[in-house]
Amino acid sequence: MGRIAVIGGGPAGLFAALEAADRGHHVSLYEKHRIGEIIKCAEGYFDTLKILEKPEEGVLFKVQNIVVQMENQYRINCENFQLWMIDRAQWQRHLGEKARERGVDIFEKTKIGNKELKELQGENDWVIDASGTSCITSKLYGFREFYKENSIAVLQYVLDGDFSYIGENIKVGLEPHCIGYYWIFPRGKNREGQETANVGIGFFQGNEGLNLRTELNRVLKKERLEDYKILKKTGGRIPVKVLEPLVYDNIMLAGDAAGLVSPLHAGGIDLACISGKVAVQEAEKGGEDYYKRLWKIVGPKLQMEQDLLEFWKKLEYTAFEEIFGIALAEDKKITPALLWKYRGLLGREMNTLKTFLAGVIKMDWQGRCREGKIPFPFVE
């Protein structure tokens, strides 16, 4: 039994704290706000690797389809996906309560700075830094620039209005002039009958000339949402490259602090939860294998997503839509002839693309276990 301090009461920190408490450690968690108080998220909980359970609290609905808007509209059936819309504040508050019940000392409204971080390092066997992008460790150890250089910019509004037309689906839009996408993630009706949705836009690198606000406002017009009331505006940068190393003396990074976010769709909740747990397990063994073990679990998925992004950047929009559309159509198949047509553009990503389209979209993947019973839907 050791002493573990966790910085940050987001998914990574809460999962780390719970794992550590369950394994008999003395755990303290420090959160600069109140847990669940400030959430910057579209609230799509996508357990891409099928490793996690359904969230215990805060589920708004299981997503039925992802509606993809390009020139035409496509639907990805989500029956076999572990994808839920959640109320993240409620979910995190629940996890916080659970951690308290299991003996975690939680200090809210407590911001950790350089001085406090050094103190925590001295007082604990391990510190798990789950304080998000530009984490506090990066300030002390001088690698804050890494996040700026390896992140995507996002802007999101919470809109109030009628989203019943979307149903229990989420919508994403891919447009010809930028590599990135916009999203409309409805939250259903709250207790007061008010209907809201998280509507946002994110650009990957290479779209520097575009202004997020102008683009999001244009999307609102295009989607006929310009008269909806804006309840909240959030934004920021999401890190999309895993840091190396992940261990700094007796500090381990988890979640966004570790750059653990999908480079393809910028979802990071699942990876935050997984890394929080794995960090604790590896801390017990001395920490040397943290990166290796984590990469074994999440690496193939992240690599595939990176490859897909490269392929998306390379292909012309119309070609991308042609391949994507055919992959989704029930009665059509990606033929060798079609892939041959784009052979020059696809290059080494060809296999990745085939795996992705056959496996993920058609949902007939052959899951493989990389670690124990973990199915690996994204890898052939």
Which residues make up the interface to ligand FAD (CB under 6 A)? 7-13, 30-33, 40-44, 46, 111-112, 130-132, 136, 154, 156, 200, 234, 236, 238, 255-257, 261, 266-269, 272
Please report where in the chains the tokens 């784009």 appear, as a residue. 342
Q: How far is the CB of 11 from ligand FAD (least distance, A)?
A: 4
Would you mind telling me the total number of residues written for the chain in this entry?
Answer: 380
Q: How far is the CB of 258 from ligand FAD (least distance, A)?
A: 8
Of 18 and 154, nearer to ligand FAD (C-beta) is: 154
CA distance 35 to 107: 10
Q: How far is the CB of 1 from ligand FAD (least distance, A)?
A: 24
Q: Exposed, middle or buried: residue 49 (CB in 10 Å: 0-12, 13-18, 19+)?
A: buried
Of 167 and 236, nearer to ligand FAD (C-beta) is: 236
Of 63 and 357, nearer to ligand FAD (C-beta) is: 63
Q: Are 70 and 321 in contact (CB under 8 A)?
A: yes
Angle CA(107)–CA(278)–CA(255) in degrees, nearest 5?
A: 60
Structure tokens at 136: 């506090």
Of 41 and 353, nearer to ligand FAD (C-beta) is: 41
CA distance 139 to 232: 29
Q: How far is the CB of 253 from ligand FAD (least distance, A)?
A: 9
Of 186 and 353, nearer to ligand FAD (C-beta) is: 186
Q: How far is the CB of 375 from ligand FAD (least distance, A)?
A: 19
Q: How far is the CB of 140 from ligand FAD (least distance, A)?
A: 11
Closest by CA position to 4, among listed 107, 120, 126: 126
CA dihedral for 261, 265, 266, 269, sign (positive or negative): negative
Of 173 and 267, nearer to ligand FAD (C-beta) is: 267
**E strand or H helix at 155:** strand 151-160
